[in-house]
A and B are shown apart, each in its own frame.
Chain A
Amino acid sequence: MSTYAQKKGFGATVWDYLTTVDHKKIAVLYLIAGGFFFVVGGLEAMFIRIQLAVPNSDFVSAGMYNQILTMHGTTMIFLAAMPLLFGFMNAIMPLQIGARDVAFPFINALGFWLFFFGGVFLNLSWFLGGAPDAGWTSYASLSLASEGHGIDFYLLGLQISGAGTLMGGINFLVTIINMRAPGMTYMRMPLFTWTTFVASALILFAFPPLTVGIFLLMFDRLFGSNFFVTAAGGNTIIWEHLFWIFGHPEVYILVLPAFGIFSEIIPVFSRKRLFGYSSMVFATVLIGFLGFMVWAHHMFTVGLGPIANAIFAVATMAIAVPTGIKIFNWLFTMWGGSIKFTTPMYYAVAFIPSFLMGGVTGVMLASAAADYQYHDTYFVVAHFHYVIVGGVVFAILAGTAFYWPKMFGTMLNETLGKITFWLFFIGFHLTFFIQHFLGLWGMPRRIFTFLEGQGLETGNFVSTVGAFFMAAATVVLVINIIITTVKNEKVGNDPWGDGRTLEWAIPSPPPFYNFKQLPLVRGLDPLWIEKMEGKKGMTPAEPLGDIHMPNASFIPFVISFGLFVAAFGAMYRLDYGWGLPVLIIGLLITFGSMFLRSVKDDHGFHIHKEELIDEDDKGVKA
């Protein structure tokens, strides 16, 4: 007798997702919300490229262009790339370490809803008087001069969603440290788990400086303080430091999980264990460590002096070493393997040269003296799109194809997947390769138009054509998802046939308690080891027993909603009389529901052994 297997109505399903604390459902929420914001940010990118397709274009005004480019960057980093990666971390990491849930299921849900309401708040700026327009870096001198409430939307929205991200990071760290299955030692953890671990540590130490920076700027804009007001003794460089102390590790927060996804895909489709596993782990940790020592390479032209510039330049170049280790390890994993070219593998193979190009321009930019030429040109734009799109977006697309069957129990269409790949791959290089040269020819970044006869027409037009290829790729992906979902052909535990890690040892999608019995891990790539010994699945590490699970809760939604309300109050406090009461009401909702959570005992519930045995019987019949 199990109640959870019953078919549910639409309302019940919505309520289920609003209150869920199950990491797999939260993963789906992250994918939906992150996917939505990815499309929004993509549309903004299209508007940018349409505006720049021809010289002297008036498709959008200069002011509107600033808003679009600010929102494109902010949305893609905070609301698309990170949540999509969080989706995969939530969906896969607990399965990879053989855990039944994450360490803090409630906080996991809270983290999602904070991100969601922060993102919605930020995007409401489009309808409420204009979006932020000071760039995603929102330098203080620009943002203090920005009129209207655009920057306030940026500050409050990111503050709310940043709190969610921090909670997510702590949750993943504790999960990985405390909840590994018997035998899953650190040096047996899959690379995606390792990169999740290091990225979470980066989140823990990188987000607080952003929190502080945002607080200071918010105080300056809304509460009359003078942190960045030079006339009152303030200093705008403080914002730049705080922002980049966060901002540079953020790059690694994004790209390390992307490395992790490829480090899972390449061994599976090369049917070979990952080459140099220990050095991969070492490189991951080292990149995370060095990631904190290079922030001032974003500020070479500020005038910190030759000594500071030299130190940060050398530290930046040093990161190329562990990254190079990784590149070679991926190549050597494929070397001599029996390679299967599936959609995820296409992305993995394409990722290596694409990302490498971003790395090479990174070393160029790290040369402080040369950076004075590249600074604030399209060369920089080309560089970071090669790393973020060539690394992170490729990984997200690859991960979508690779993990879709595990998350939803059905395979995405391979033909359509490969069409998406080719369109995206060609479009990506078409868009961004030429931008290196546009930058070297003198085109500044963040410029809303350019004149005829300066030699920039062809390059910009080619770039715009490329953008349309990527848009087409996204449309094909959406069609693929719709077709697959309608067909819904169920697959088994290990749909790719060559799964090596624990997530492929359980049904797709997994039952809500993941593992009926915790598996016994006997080495790296535990499922592969069992397969090689002729066994069908994992050996259990414990007898069948009751399973303790957390209760669903609506409180995470309410806590986040309270902050969403309070943000409106804080923003309109100076304009309207209702601002202050709304601020107070919002905070009361948040703290009240935190209080409620605190005083109401929640012991979770147990699934009884008998129910689990029933499930087994059903499995036999089906």
Chain B
Amino acid sequence: MHAEEKMTLEKWPASPEKQTLEAKNKFLGFWLFLGGETVLFASLFATYLALKDKVPGPDHALAKDLFEIPLAFLMTMILLTSSLTSVYAMYHMKNFEFKKMQLWLGITVILGFGFLALEIYEFYHYVHHYGHTFTSSAFGSAFYTLVGFHGAHVAFGLAWIITLMVRNAKRGLSLYNAPKFYVASLYWHFIDVVWVFIFSVVYLMGMVG
């Protein structure tokens, strides 16, 4: 099957994301890349745990002073929901319903922006109310690096999904762009999973000990 072929609902296969060799390679390569990303975040988590609450003096804010459940919970809910909406988008992609896929991707993007806005507010809050900055302590460096790396991933994911939506807005689905949408959604899920760990390790564990 040629990737450029004009598609109809009748011709649309069950797994449009891996019909050509290029698509299969992309699919597998991206999974492997996520394996590498896992190790990257594992290293950042390990660094964070080693440096948690390591501050130069008693007047510096610690994890238990900083974190609040409501905000972290809201961010978690928003990001988890955006993962669900991206699943809907992929469902419609598999059913060759381009407009519905675009709609759900759009909702995913809006939720992603909501998450980023809350994160920026959160950082701003820590910096201005607690003097907890990237350079104030080893704890600060580790916190902003771990959470910031995740935030940068969210931002990159948003730019990626928007680019895909705009680029393909007028031409609909094909076996050439289906794998592109698919791996972007994989990436989005991965970001979500990392956040679940950040929520547990940084925020929940930060408040209990």
Is A232 within 8 A of B56, CB to CB?
Answer: yes
By secondary structure, the B interface counts as helix
- CB contacts under 8 Å to A, within B125-157, are 134-142, 145
Determine whether the beta carbon of B37 is less than 8 Å from that of A226: no
Complex interface: chain B residues within 8 A of A208 (CB) = 36-37, 39-40, 43
User: B3 to chain A: which residues have CB within 8 Å?
Assistant: 603
Interface residue count for B (Cβ, 8 Å)?
Answer: 36
The count of residues in chain A whose C-beta lies closer than 8 Å to any C-beta of chain B is: 42
CA gap between A423 and B4 in the complex, in Å: 57
Kindly identify, within residues 175 to 205 of chain A, every residue whose CB is under 8 Å from any CB belonging to chain B.
177-179, 204-205
B50, CB-defined interface residue at 8 Å? yes
Query: What distance in Å separates the Cβ of B58 from its nearest Cβ neighbour in chain A?
Result: 12
> Which of B21-29, B66-74, B109-117, B196-204 lies at the interface?
B21-29
Give chain B nearest CB distance to A196 CB in angstroms.
Answer: 14
Residues of B within 8 A of A232 (CB): 55-56, 136-138
Does A234 reach chain B (CB closer than 8 Å)? Answer: yes
| A131: interface (CB < 8 Å) | no
Query: Any chain A CB within 8 A of the CB of B44?
Result: yes
Bound Cα distance A207, B176 (Å): 31
Instruction: Give complex CA distance A241, B44 in Å.
Output: 12
Give the chain B neighbours of A235 by CB distance below 8 A.
50-51, 54, 138
Q: Which one of A204, A213, A215, A219 lies within 8 Å of B36 (CB-CB)?
A: A204
Q: Which of chain A's residues have a CB closer than 8 A to the CB of B139? A: 233
**Chain B residues with CB below 8 A from A299, complex form:** none
Min CB gap A70→B, angstroms: 24
Residues from chain B with a CB closer than 8 A to the CB of A598 are: 163, 167
Residues A226 and B141 in contact, CB atoms below 8 Å apart: yes
Q: In this assembly, does A242 line the interface, its C-beta being within 8 Å of a C-beta of chain B?
A: yes
* Cβ of A28 under 8 Å from chain B: no
A440 sits at the interface (CB 8 A):
no
Tell me whether A225 and B145 are in contact (CB under 8 A): yes
Complexed CA–CA distance, A312 and B55 (Å): 31
How many angstroms from the CA of A135 to the CA of B39 in the assembled complex? 25
Q: How far is the CA of A234 from the CA of B51 in the complex (A)?
A: 7
**B25 — which chain A residues lie within 8 A by C-beta?**
103-104, 174, 178-179
Q: Are B138 and A226 in contact (CB under 8 A)?
A: yes
Complex contacts, B33 vs chain A, CB 8 Å: 170
CA distance A276 to B73 in the complex (A): 57
Minimum distance in angstroms from B167 CB to a CB of chain A: 5
B123 to chain A, nearest CB (A): 15
B47 pairs with A238, CB closer than 8 A: yes
Q: Is the CB of A204 within 8 A of B141?
A: no
Closest beta carbon of chain A to B197's beta carbon, Å: 15
**In-complex Cβ contact of A171 among B29, B46, B137 (8 A):** B29
Q: In the complex, which residues of chain A have a beta carbon less than 8 angstroms from the beta carbon of B120?
A: none
New contact pairs (4) apart from A216-B47, A223-B134, A238-B47, CB-CB < 8 Å: A204-B35, A204-B39, A215-B145, A238-B46
12 A-B pairs within 8 Å (CB atoms) are namely A166-B36, A170-B36, A174-B29, A204-B32, A204-B35, A205-B39, A207-B36, A211-B40, A233-B51, A234-B138, A238-B46, A598-B167
